[in-house]
């Protein structure tokens, strides 16, 4: 018998197909230690969706959300008292309140994690109850779509008001289609994930998410940008956070995960909030309200990435929305009006557009290139400066030799020789030599070169304040700094 997963067939020898839930494609970190007080701080999706404001209207009271998944660990501290007895369609060995995979426990915590303390995972609809229905075996697989179809029917018959399906397949199963419509016809809201990008599972939104009438959910990141790991298509209805999600794990721990499997329960929880705030509202109007109040974060109107937009729990429970007579996902959205009133969407600063991701990549590349060029230029300049400094490093010539050289140097015809320098002050260790600026020994305004024993010597010169402007002076260091082997200092040196 062919075994179906939530992805497309992998062509394994056994023909079994890996379950294409976010657990298979998600990035799972090792279970985090139970520092539950810091775990809640990691739930960025609650602040993005402005959960606190939504909770001032409703917290999911009197709602039952069926989690058709791998089972739920009802003993987890964050789910204690939140999980009802369920069913097991794998082997009948449990009542759904056991989870050897972990996926269903994470999904359940995102929906209904307890709110009676300040520790651990907090669900978006913390007063709702979880109805666990196991369809996944320890290998994250299910034998056939019929098992999932049976689970849906069972959940409807046992009081579920919302059904979450964080699973799906590239293939369409007639039995699953029939089960979905069984739920829709009995006033149950059905939510399913779009699926995750995979090389061997196709690019089409998974089934049952693409089934008409189902709230198909794609994923976004912290900035509201469409998550590149999410599948997309015209069937997408809403989007929700899907990355860097911290969730409950079996045994009391926590996992860091990503995938549309964890965006779907946030929409399911929002549906529970709406049904709690408006207990007489039927499923089609709940769906319509979620569509009309979504934050249109992509191109205007419905698009393949965001659908109608990012789910907005606060507006969903507070805005004024015209009622409809039919499910807009079954007969088309012909109401033509958006919700009015209620606070706007979360703490996101910039509205995304389809090209923003590409612009970010281009900007990053330009920044890297510019930085590299600046670093290269800085290195070149440093090398040049070091070379110039090395060539211009002054070497002081013994005064007697420099004076003799200058005394015999030709000067301009008719030009008088410069007057001799004044005697140095008593105790001075400096010698001043006057150099006519036209003499060839002067290289520049601050540098002079002379030849000594075939060695080119460079010294610094500066104007002497007590003589004519065309005279320059050379600063001389103390005699103790003369080079080894140089003649004794001349007159005026001590």
Distance of CA 314 to the CA centre of its chain: 25
Which of 230, 261, 264, 318 is an active site residue? 261
Q: Which of 103, 147, 207, 471 is catalytic?
A: 103
**261 assigned to active site:** yes
276: annotated active-site residue: no
Catalytic-residue membership of 331 = no
Question: Three-class SS string for the chain?
Answer: CCCECCCCCCCCCCCCCCCCCHHHHCCCCCCECCCHHHHHHCCHHHHHCCHHHHHCCCCCCCCEEEEEECCCCCCCHHHCCCECCCEECCCCCCCCCCCCCCHHHHHHHHHHCCCCCCCCCCCCCCCCEEEEEECCCCCCCECCHHHHHHHHHHHHHCCCCEEEECCCECCCCHHHHHHHHHHHCCCCEEEEECCECCCCCCCCCCECCCCCCCEEEEEECCCCCECCCECCCCCCCEEEECCCEEEEECCCEEEEECCHHHCHHHHHHHHHHHHHHCCCCCHHHHHHHHHHHCECCCCCCCECCCECCECCHHHHCCCECCCCCCCHHHHCCCCCCCCECCCCCCCCCCCCCCCHHHHHHHHHHHHHHHHHHHHHHHHHHHHHHHHHHHHCCCCCCCHHHHHHHHHCCCCCCCCCCCCCCCCCCCCCCCCCCCECCCCCCECCCCCEEEEECCEEEEECEEECCCCCCCCEEECCCCHHHCCCCCCCCCCCCC
For the annotated catalytic residues, the residue numbers are: 69, 103, 261
């Amino acid at each position: 018998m062919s075994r179906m997963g939530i992805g497309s067939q992998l062509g394994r020898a056994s023909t079994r197909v890996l379950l294409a839930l976010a657990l298979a494609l998600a990035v799972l970190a090792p279970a985090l230690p139970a520092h539950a007080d810091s775990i809640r701080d990691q739930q960025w999706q609650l602040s993005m969706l402005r959960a606190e404001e939504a909770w001032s209207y409703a917290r999911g009271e009197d709602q039952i959300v069926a989690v058709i998944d791998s089972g739920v660990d009802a003993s987890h501290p964050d789910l204690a008292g939140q999980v009802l007895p369920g069913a097991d369609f794998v082997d009948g060995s449990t009542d759904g309140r056991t989870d050897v995979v972990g996926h269903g426990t994470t999904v359940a915590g995102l929906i209904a994690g307890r709110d009676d303390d300040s520790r651990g995972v907090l669900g978006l609809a913390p007063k709702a109850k979880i109805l666990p229905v196991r369809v996944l075996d320890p290998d994250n697989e299910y034998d056939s779509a019929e098992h999932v179809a049976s689970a849906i029917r069972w959940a409807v018959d046992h009081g579920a008001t919302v059904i979450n399906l964080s699973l799906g397949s590239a293939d369409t199963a007639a039995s699953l289609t029939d089960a979905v419509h069984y739920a829709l016809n009995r006033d149950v809201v059905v939510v399913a994930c779009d699926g995750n990008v995979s090389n061997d599972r196709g690019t089409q939104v998974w089934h049952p998410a693409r089934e008409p009438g189902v709230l198909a959910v794609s994923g976004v990141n912290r900035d509201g940008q469409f998550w590149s790991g999410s599948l997309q298509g015209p069937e997408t209805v809403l989007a929700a956070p899907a990355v860097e999600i911290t969730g409950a794990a079996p045994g009391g721990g926590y996992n860091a995960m990503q995938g549309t499997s964890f965006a779907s329960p946030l929409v399911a929880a929002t549906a529970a909030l709406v049904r709690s705030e408006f207990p007489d509202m039927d499923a089609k109007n709940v769906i319509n309200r979620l569509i009309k109040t979504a934050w249109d974060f992509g191109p205007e109107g419905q698009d393949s990435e965001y659908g109608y937009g990012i789910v907005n729990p606060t507006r969903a429970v507070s805005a004024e929305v015209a009622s409809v007579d039919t499910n807009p996902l079954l007969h088309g959205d012909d109401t033509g009006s958006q919700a009015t009133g209620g606070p706007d969407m979360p703490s996101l600063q910039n509205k995304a557009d389809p090209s923003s991701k590409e612009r970010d990549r281009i900007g990053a590349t330009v920044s890297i290139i510019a930085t590299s060029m600046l670093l290269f230029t800085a290195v070149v300049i440093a090398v040049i400066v070091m070379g110039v400094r090395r060539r211009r490093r002054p070497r002081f010539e013994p005064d007697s030799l420099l004076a003799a050289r200058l005394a015999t140097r030709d000067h301009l015809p008719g030009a008088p020789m410069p007057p001799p320098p004044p005697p140095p002050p008593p105790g001075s260790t400096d010698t001043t030599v006057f150099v006519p600026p036209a003499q060839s020994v002067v290289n520049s305004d601050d540098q002079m070169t002379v030849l000594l024993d075939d060695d080119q010597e460079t010294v610094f010169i500066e104007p002497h304040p007590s003589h004519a402007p065309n005279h320059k002076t050379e600063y001389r260091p103390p005699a103790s700094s003369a080079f080894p082997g140089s003649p004794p200092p001349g007159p005026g040196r001590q």
